[in-house]
């Protein structure tokens, strides 16, 4: 039976993930050509996807790249970052064959073209997802810093001051565009509850709303007591009277949501992992979720009012009022299009949110995929690890924990634990490269 290659492609806002598998061993195949077909008007442009991993004989340097018919992909999947929102693309994979030592590679068996895929932030049913490219711990950024003779401190300052607007826009991706766009709807009113605020572009956009903005601003995570002091003053000086949620030992004001209303009717809500700061936008990998549903937006708006009532003046201790806790303890489920979504707020008084998460993991029938940061010794990763031992379950997960030096307080180590249904891993510990960076560049 002839060898064939099967290809699948999955897209999000601005990336296409392509995975392929040959039906059998292909003799003399050092790798694969990946071709992208992109619709351009009424025509199609076909081009090889570039590969950045070359052969030893070519003595590749960091940053080198060549078409994948010259440097074929020596793997079975690739994320195509050269596709952008709005692009319509499809892919084909061809085995490259080494006919003789020193001779150019020739094409072997090819897959069929995949179906056309449109890259879009709209996930359907009133949900839209946005992502950034905050991969600053990457060789791409290291080369940029070296080329522009930037120290890490100068690089961070250039992002804060928008010194290189084009490069900052690349790091922000569609996430940054949409966050600024939330502030630009004519006549829209915004009720926001934020944990961190610290970015000139975002602050200017919020100030531009004037009286149409109502902002609950927490004190962030700064040990000084108010990590948002500068942003708070900037907004106050420009006529935005912030509602200050200053929590101390009672918890974090970790909210990151914005309710958008028109004519005082909540229309949509923005949430997700992203803090409204330069760090959140540009130097961390983050996401944003826009839900265009009046019932969900009204629910978040009700919670905003409860947060406001639980945020007395700075002279009094902020607290979690009985009304706020009751709302946290009473999650609500909504039908949004063909989906069902349950909205939780924390903290809860009875651990019901964690019980619900355990139920999600326990009820999985086929697979559990997860990423967790510092879940603690009895976190959900333990339950996922138990499920990994079950026959027929596919489990993959990563648990990362920042740890201190022995006897120290600095978090200088990163402990990584990989959980898998078909392999056993020994936990790894890595020394963290602190913000001053490395004197010598990493190899390719």
State what percent of residues in the chain have pLDDT above 70.
93
Distance between CA 313 and CA 246 in Å, rounded? 9
Instruction: Considering only the C-alpha atoms of the chain, give the largest distance between any 2 of them, rounded to a whole number of Å.
Output: 80
Q: What is the three-class DSSP state of 28? A: coil
Query: Model confidence over 152-178: pLDDT tens digits?
Result: 888 888 888 878 898 999 899 999 999
What are the pLDDT digits (tens) for 178-220? 999 999 988 899 999 999 999 999 999 999 999 999 999 999 8
pLDDT above 60 (res 315): no
Residue 318 has pLDDT above 80, yes or no: no
Note the pLDDT of residue 223.
64
**Euclidean distance between CA atoms 291 and 202, whole angstroms:** 21
**Integer Cα distance of 105 and 71 in angstroms:** 9
User: Could you tell me the pTM of the whole model?
Assistant: 0.86
Q: Which residue has the higher pLDDT, 214 or 146?
A: 214
Q: pLDDT tens-digit profile of 305-314? A: 999 999 887 6
Residues 327-343 have pLDDT tens digits of 999 999 999 988 899 99
Higher confidence at residue 351 or residue 377?
Answer: 351
Q: How many CA atoms lie within 13 A of 284 on its CB side?
A: 12
d(CA 59, CA 64): 10
Helix-helix angle 322-329:294-309, to 10 degrees: 150
- List CB contacts of 60: < 8 A, sequence separation 6 or more: 53, 54, 71, 444
Provide the pLDDT for residue 14. Answer: 83
Higher pLDDT, 319 or 197: 197
CB 372 within 8 A of CB 345: no
When pLDDT is cut at 50, 70 and 90, the band that residue 112 belongs to is very high
Provide the pairing of β-strand 213-218 with 243-245: parallel
* Of residues 320, 317, 298, the one with CA closest to residue 309: 320
pLDDT value of residue 301: 98
CATH of domain 123-312: 3.30.870.10
What pLDDT shows up at residue 405?
A: 60
Class of domain 5-119: mainly beta
Helices and strands of the chain, counted as H and E runs? 10, 26
Please list the residue range(s) of the chain that carry CATH number 2.60.40.10. Answer: 5-119
Cα–Cα distance measured from residue 410 to residue 65, given in angstroms and rounded to the nearest whole number: 38
Give residue-wise pLDDT tens across range 278-297.
999 998 889 999 999 999 99
- 368-382 pLDDT, tens digit per residue, is 999 998 888 778 889
Q: 212-230 pLDDT, tens per residue?
A: 999 999 998 766 688 999 9
pLDDT at 3: 95
CATH 3.30.870.10 intervals, the chain:
123-312
| Rounded-to-integer distance, Cα 136 and Cα 283, Å | 6
**pLDDT at residue 250, rounded to an integer:** 65
CA–CA gap between residue 219 and residue 197 (Å, rounded)? 9
Phi-psi region of 353 (alpha: psi -120 to 50; beta: other; left: phi over 0): alpha
Which residues lie closer than 8 Å to 99 by C-beta, 6 or more apart?
A: 28, 105, 106
Mean pLDDT of 94-101: 91
More confident residue, 104 or 432: 104
Q: What is the pLDDT of residue 410?
A: 59
- Mean residue pLDDT of the chain comes to 90
Residue 51 has pLDDT above 70, yes or no: yes
Residue showing tokens 């077909």? 37
Beta carbons of 441 and 146 less than 8 angstroms apart: yes
DSSP string, 359-426: HHHHH-SSEEEEEEES--TTSHHHHHHHHTTSTT-EEEEEEEEEEPPTT--S--EEEEEEEESS----
Rounded to whole angstroms, how far apart are CA atoms 345 and 17? 33
Please state whether beta strands 367-373 and 394-403 pair in parallel, antiparallel, or not at all (unpaired): parallel
Q: Which of 287, 369, 206 is nearest to 13 (CA)?
A: 287
When pLDDT is cut at 50, 70 and 90, the band that residue 434 belongs to is low
**pLDDT tens-place string over residues 237-258:** 999 999 999 887 667 899 999 9
At residue 413, the pLDDT reads: 80
Strands 428-431 and 413-420: antiparallel
Q: Phi and psi of 47, rounded to 5°?
A: -150, 150
Per-residue pLDDT at 407: 56
The DSSP 8-state label assigned to residue 304 in this structure reads: H
pLDDT of residue 444: 42
pLDDT band at residue 316 under the 50/70/90 scheme? low
User: 411 falls in which pLDDT band (50, 70, 90)?
Assistant: low
């Amino acid at each position: 039976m002839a060898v064939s290659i099967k290809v699948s492609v999955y897209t999000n806002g601005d990336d296409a993930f392509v995975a392929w598998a040959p039906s059998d061993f292909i003799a003399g195949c050092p790798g694969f050509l990946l071709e992208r077909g992109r619709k351009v008007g009424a025509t199609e442009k076909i081009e090889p996807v570039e590969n950045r991993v070359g052969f030893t004989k070519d003595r590749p340097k960091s940053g080198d790249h060549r078409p994948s018919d010259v440097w074929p992909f020596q793997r079975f999947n690739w994320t195509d970052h050269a596709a952008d929102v709005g692009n319509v693309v499809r892919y084909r994979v061809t085995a490259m064959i080494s006919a003789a030592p020193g001779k150019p590679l020739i094409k072997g068996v090819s897959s069929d073209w995949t179906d056309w895929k449109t890259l879009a932030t709209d996930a359907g049913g009133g949900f839209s997802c946005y992502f950034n490219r905050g991969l600053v711990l990457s060789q791409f950024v290291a080369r940029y810093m070296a080329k522009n003779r930037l120290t890490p401190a100068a690089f961070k300052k250039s992002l804060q001051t928008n010194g290189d607007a084009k490069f900052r826009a690349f790091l922000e991706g569609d996430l940054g565009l949409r966050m600024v766009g939330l502030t630009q709807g004519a006549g829209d009113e915004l009720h926001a509850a934020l944990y961190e605020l610290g970015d000139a572009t975002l602050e200017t956009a919020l100030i531009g709303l004037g009286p149409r903005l109502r902002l609950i601003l927490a004190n962030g995570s700064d040990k000084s007591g108010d990590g948002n002091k500068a942003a708070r003053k900037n907004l106050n000086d420009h006529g935005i009277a912030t509602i200050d949620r200053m929590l101390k030992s009672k918890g974090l004001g970790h909210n990151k949501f914005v309710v958008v209303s028109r004519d005082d009717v909540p229309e949509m809500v923005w949430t997700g992992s992203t803090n409204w700061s330069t760090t959140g936008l540009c130097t961390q990998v983050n996401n944003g979720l826009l839900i265009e549903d009046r019932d969900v937006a009204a629910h978040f708006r009700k919670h905003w009012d409860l947060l406001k009532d639980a945020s007395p003046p700075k002279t009094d201790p902020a607290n979690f009022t009985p009304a706020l806790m009751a709302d946290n303890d009473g999650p609500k489920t909504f039908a949004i299009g063909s989906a069902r979504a349950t909205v939780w707020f924390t903290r809860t008084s009875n651990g019901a949110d964690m019980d619900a998460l355990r139920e999600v993991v326990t009820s999985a029938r086929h697979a559990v995929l997860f990423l967790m940061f510092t879940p603690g010794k009895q976190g959900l990763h333990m339950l996922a690890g138990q499920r990994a031992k079950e026959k027929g379950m596919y489990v993959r997960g990563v648990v990362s924990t920042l740890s201190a030096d022995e006897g120290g307080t600095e978090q200088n180590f990163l402990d990584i634990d990989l959980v898998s249904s078909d392999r056993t891993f020994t936990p790894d510990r890595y020394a963290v490269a602190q913000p001053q960076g490395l004197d010598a560049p990493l190899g390719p």
